[in-house]
Amino acid sequence: MLELFIGLAVTIAVGYFIIKGYKPAGVLLTAGIVLLLITGVMGMKVLPDSINSTGNFVTDSLEYVKYMLQYRGGGLGLQIMLLCGFASYMTHIGANNVVVKQFSKPLSYIKSPYILLVAAYIVACLMSLAVSSATGLGVLLMATLFPMMTAMGISRPAAVAICASPAAIILSPTSGDVVVAAEKSGLPLHVFAVETVLPVSICAIIVMAAAAFFWNKYLDKKENIKMEKVDISEIEVKAPAYYAILPFMPIIGVFLFNGSTIKGLYLDIYTIVVLSIFIGALVDFITKRFKGKETLEDLEACYQGMADAFKGVVMLLVAAGVFAQGLMSIGAIDNLIGLAEAAGAGGFALMLLLTGLTVAAAIATGSGNAPFYAFVELAPALAGKMGLSPAFLIIPMLQASNLGRTISPVSGVIVATSGMGNVNPFEVVKRTSVPVICGLITVIIGTAVLVPMYA
Nearest in space to 333 (alpha carbons), one of 371, 284, 359: 371
Whether the CB-CB separation of 330 and 41 falls below 8 Å is answered with no
Asked if 96 and 280 count as a contact pair (C-beta separation under 8 A), the reply is no
pLDDT digit string (tens) for 381-435? 778 777 888 889 899 999 998 999 999 988 889 988 998 888 988 999 999 999 9
Q: Domain spans of the chain?
A: 1-450
Percent of the chain with pLDDT over 90: 18
Report the phi/psi class of residue 366: left, alpha or beta, with left for phi > 0 and alpha for psi in -120 to 50.
left
Q: Where are the beta strands (DSSP E) in 61-181?
A: none
Q: How confident is the model at residue 247 (pLDDT cuts 50, 70, 90)?
A: confident
- How confident is residue 131, by pLDDT bands cut at 50, 70 and 90? low
Inter-helix orientation angle 77-92/269-287, to 10°? 20
Rounded Cα–Cα distance for residues 14 and 28 (Å): 7
Three-class DSSP category at 454: strand
Q: Label residue 217 by pLDDT band (50, 70, 90).
A: very high
> pLDDT per residue over 141-172, tens digit each?
887 788 878 877 889 999 999 999 988 888 77
Cβ proximity of 360 and 404 under 8 Å: yes
Chain-centre distance for alpha carbon 25: 17
What secondary structure does DSSP assign to 82-108, as a single string?
Answer: HHHHHHHHHHHTTHHHHHHHHHHHHHT
Q: Which residue in 228, 43, 263 sits closest to 152, CA to CA?
A: 228
Give the per-residue pLDDT at 434. Answer: 96
Give residue 326's pLDDT.
85
The pLDDT score that the predictor gives to residue 440 is: 95
Which of 95, 114, 118, 101 lies closest to 153 in space, CA to CA? 114
Q: Does residue 129 or residue 135 have the better pLDDT?
A: 135
Q: Which amino acid is at 66?
A: K
> What are the beta bridge partners of residue 454?
388
Determine phi and psi for 215, rounding to 5 degrees. Answer: -70, -45
Give the residue among 361, 373, 322 at the shortest CA–CA distance from 46.
Answer: 322
Q: For the whole model, what pTM was predicted? A: 0.70
Cross-strand partners of 388 = 454
Mean pLDDT throughout 284-313? 86
Indicate whether 238 pLDDT > 80. Answer: no
**Entry field: residues in the chain:** 455
Identify the DSSP state of 42.
T
- Pick the residue with more confidence: 337 or 328? 328
Mark out the alpha helices in 311-389 (DSSP H runs): 315-329, 332-342, 347-365, 369-376, 378-386
**Which segment of 100-104, 296-300, 304-308, 443-447 scores lowest on mean pLDDT?**
100-104
Range in 13-17, 283-287, 450-454 the model is least confident about: 13-17
Examine the pLDDT at 439 and tell me if it is beyond 90. Answer: yes
